[in-house]
Each structure stands twice: as C-alpha cells, then as structure tokens.
Amino acid sequence: MLCHRYPDGDTLGSAYALVRALQQLGKRAGIACSHEPGRMYRFLETAIERQSFEPRCVVAVDVAAPSMLGEPVRSKWGERVDLCLDHHASRQEFARMTYVEPDVGAAAEVILRLLPLLGVAPDREMAACLYTALVTDTRGFRTASTSPRTLRMAAGLLETGIDGAGICRRVLDVKSRGFFRLQGHALRELRFSCGGRCAVLTVTRELMERYGVRDDETEGLPPLARRVEGVLAGVTLREKENGDFRVSVRTAPQLDAAAICAVFGGGGHHAAAGCTIHRPRGKDPAGQAAAMLERSVEDALRAIGIDTKEECE
C-alpha cells in the first residue's frame, strides 16, 4: 500500500485500515511511504503486523499523481501501481486500474465502501484508523466535502467504541510548544494582497530551525490564512530543505484552488490544492514565491470579475 509523501492522516489511516483488513483475510500486506509518519500518527502503526515479502500487487491510496509518491517510493513503485484508490478530482492517471470518488470527504470513504466488498466489518483498530482519516481530511467535519454520508460513516466508526475525542485531540489539536511560537511568528507576518482577498503565510527553514519545529508538525498550518475575514484564497508556503517551497492553497467556493496550483504544475481539490515552487531566485526567495502565488490568485480573481484594486468589505 503506497501512501503519498508528507503523509497526512487520510493517506495513512486509509492505508493502515486496508492493510489490517487484508491481513485479517490472511494476505501479506504492508505500507510504503517516502516520509516517516508524524509523531501524532504513530499510534496507527499498532493496527498492523510488520511482514516482509515481495508484493505481487501494488495499491496507491490518496495519491493523485506519481509525483505525490515522493522519493524513493516513486522510483521504486511508481510505474507498477496496479490499483489507485482516491478522492482527488484533479488527478493524473498512472495506475493499471483506478477507482476515484471525486471530492468526497476523505479517501477513507472509498476504503469504507470497499471493506464490505472484501467481507470485512471494521473492528476498533480499523475504525480508529479510518476515523483519523476522516477527521484530518475534513478538519473535524468542517469542509465542503463533508457530506451526510461522511457523517454516517463516522457514526458507524464511533459505534465500534473508539475514543473519537481522543483521536481528534491527538491528530488535530496537540502541537509542540515550538510549533505555537512558530505559528505566532508566521501569523504576525501574514502578507495580504488583492485588496485583502489573498493572504500568504510563510514558514522558512530559518524559522523552523529557530523554534525547533519538524516538517510533519506544520501540517495544520494551511487552513489558517483562509480563515481571515475577507480572504478568498489562503496560501501557505513552506520551505523545504533543498530550498524549494511547498505551496498549499485553500479557497472560497467561487475560486478553484486546483486551477491556481495547476499554473505551477500542481493540483488537488477545488477547495484545497498544492504545488511546488522550485528554488525561487533572488535575495528573498520566500518573497519571490509569495509574489508568484499572488499573481496567480490575482488572475483567478480577475477571471471571475473581481476588481482586486478595490479593498474587500
């Protein structure tokens, strides 16, 4: 089971649940991911047994394009994916077979539809994995992708007796002290443009080192900028070790985040998408990357007839 790079709760929870289901059916199964799961997701590992084997079938979960596998997983498995289980609307076909439910709350919803077909009813461990996936991808059932079915599925998972509140605290709320300091710093320097409709939050390597924050801890940042009153596009820039910037875009319903990211070769969902800005040049690489995104957001706003010169209400 292949997870995407910088694994989040959805790709991990979905993959762990499916591996557990397969192991219960007497199959050998395991997980491959280019990055170590964040500390808050380590508890998922107890759901499965570590087995060593040469896989005959390769499945990617919550992966919209081979590049999302990251290295080394893309080089090793990217060209021999048999099945892709996903929920990204904007995606690149790369597997022999693909099953996608576009823009449903989480890839876990696809897994939850698949389990009965395998003859497996989710036990508590599987339910904890899938609940983690649902609450992380829907930010606690708050996204537009949260449907009545998402909530019904969540209800079914809670009925197995899992600690829903505990999972939410662990995967959504708790962060290190350093993270809160870093967030405070980044928020103070939040950059506004397009008449207040675009906000860019930047986290440089220097900032992460100063506050002792690891990459996996910054997963909760992308929704922040979009929460500011009047903001239609919230952009988060996170500098990688090699000087590239990981870009996350969150948009209001009238703007397509995937289209804004497609300009830079990325993609994702209508309301949430990502891309990479490769080592921007100049004295201020972060400022350069921010300006590039601001231009793309400005174009998107103009395309829907918004005058970006005028301050928003």
Binding site for Mn ion (CB under 5 A): 10, 62, 107, 137
| Cβ distance to Mn ion smaller for residue 111 or 201 | 111
How many whole angstroms separate alpha carbon 36 and alpha carbon 97? 27
Q: How far apart are the first and last CA of the chain?
A: 47
| Cβ distance to Mn ion smaller for residue 47 or 110 | 110
Q: In whole angstroms, how far apart are CA 290 and each of 39, 198, 203, 283, 307?
A: 29, 10, 11, 13, 20
Shortest Å, Cβ 9 to Mn ion: 8
Shortest Å, Cβ 20 to Mn ion: 19
Beta strands in 50-190 (DSSP E): 59-61, 83-86, 97-100
| Cβ distance to Mn ion smaller for residue 4 or 226 | 4
| Cβ distance to Mn ion smaller for residue 10 or 125 | 10
Our CA angle for 303, 307, 309, nearest 5°, is 130
Q: Give the three-state DSSP class for 138.
A: coil
Residue nearest to Mn ion (CB): 10
Shortest Å, Cβ 39 to Mn ion: 20
Beta strands in the chain (DSSP E): 59-61, 83-86, 97-100, 191-193, 198-203, 233-239, 245-251, 267-268, 272-277
Residue 106 neighbours by CB under 8 Å, 6+ apart: 10, 14, 62, 87, 133, 134, 136, 137, 138, 145, 150
Shortest Å, Cβ 249 to Mn ion: 15
| Cβ distance to Mn ion smaller for residue 127 or 186 | 127
Instruction: Sort strands 191-193 and 59-61 into parallel, antiparallel or unpaired.
Output: unpaired
Q: Which residues of 272-295 are buried (b: 16+ CB within 10 A; e: fewer)?
A: bbbbbbeebeeeebbeebbbbbbe
| Cβ distance to Mn ion smaller for residue 131 or 211 | 131
| Cβ distance to Mn ion smaller for residue 178 or 216 | 216
Query: CA-based Rg of the chain, rounded to a whole angstrom?
Result: 19
Shortest Å, Cβ 193 to Mn ion: 29
Shortest Å, Cβ 11 to Mn ion: 6
Shortest Å, Cβ 3 to Mn ion: 10
